[in-house]
């Protein structure tokens, strides 16, 4: 019964993903609606747990706050999966810990990063961090460029982070990254709360 409901949820997500690709190819507007980031994240974590090998430990800190944002849930699901898959690739060789955290914050000052800006106000902050290889400082300025990748052939297209950047920007949010070579990487996504 649990497997059937998981299959149904995955099928519906696949259907929405196909619709998103069709919308993208036709340049239609995203379908934005009130979205519980907590519920979306719980669903994504279930999928990630069933996909990643046991060498990757998953630590999730989600809490019980209401994290409702105006969003296209399929696009945000894609963003979460992109970040988790990137984290996995960074830890593939040696294993490690994937940390996922969701919390609400109130910015008293504007926050800026990579040409994005969040005005003061209430935000949901989603952090996806790994203990992997980290990003070399000379690559940090380029990671959101389309087709830029340091992965081996057949391991990625170099579109994941560029799509993530576009989705978050179109949702009026911001994405921040901190990384240290050999220590790991943390992506923090800020999305305005409703």
Angle, CA of 110, 105 and 126, to the nearest 5°? 100
DSSP, residue by residue, 118-179: E-SEEEEEEEEEE-SS---HHHHTTTTSTT---SPTTS--S-HHHHHHHHHHHTT-EEEEEE
pLDDT of 27 reads 46
Identify the DSSP state of 153.
T
pLDDT of 26 reads 47
Q: How confident is the model at residue 97 (pLDDT cuts 50, 70, 90)?
A: very high
The pTM (predicted TM-score) of the whole model is: 0.80
């Amino acid at each position: 019964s649990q497997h059937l409901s998981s299959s149904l949820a995955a099928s519906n997500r696949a259907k929405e993903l196909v619709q998103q690709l069709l919308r993208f190819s036709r340049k239609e507007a995203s379908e934005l609606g009130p979205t519980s980031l907590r519920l979306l994240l719980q669903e994504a974590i279930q999928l990630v747990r069933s996909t990643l090998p046991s060498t990757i430990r998953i630590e999730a800190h989600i809490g019980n706050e209401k994290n409702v944002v105006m969003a296209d849930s399929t696009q945000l699901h894609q963003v979460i999966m992109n970040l988790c898959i990137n984290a996995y690739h960074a830890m593939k060789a040696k294993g490690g810990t994937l940390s996922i955290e969701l919390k609400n914050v109130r910015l008293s000052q504007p926050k800026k990063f990579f040409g994005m800006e969040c005005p003061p106000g209430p935000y949901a902050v989603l952090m996806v961090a790994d203990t992997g290889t980290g990003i070399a400082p000379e690559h940090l300025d380029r990671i959101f460029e389309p087709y830029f990748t340091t992965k081996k052939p057949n391991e990625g297209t170099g579109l994941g982070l560029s799509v993530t950047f576009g989705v978050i920007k179109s949702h009026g949010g911001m994405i921040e990254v901190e990384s240290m070579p050999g220590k790991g990487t943390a992506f923090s996504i800020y999305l305005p709360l409703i």
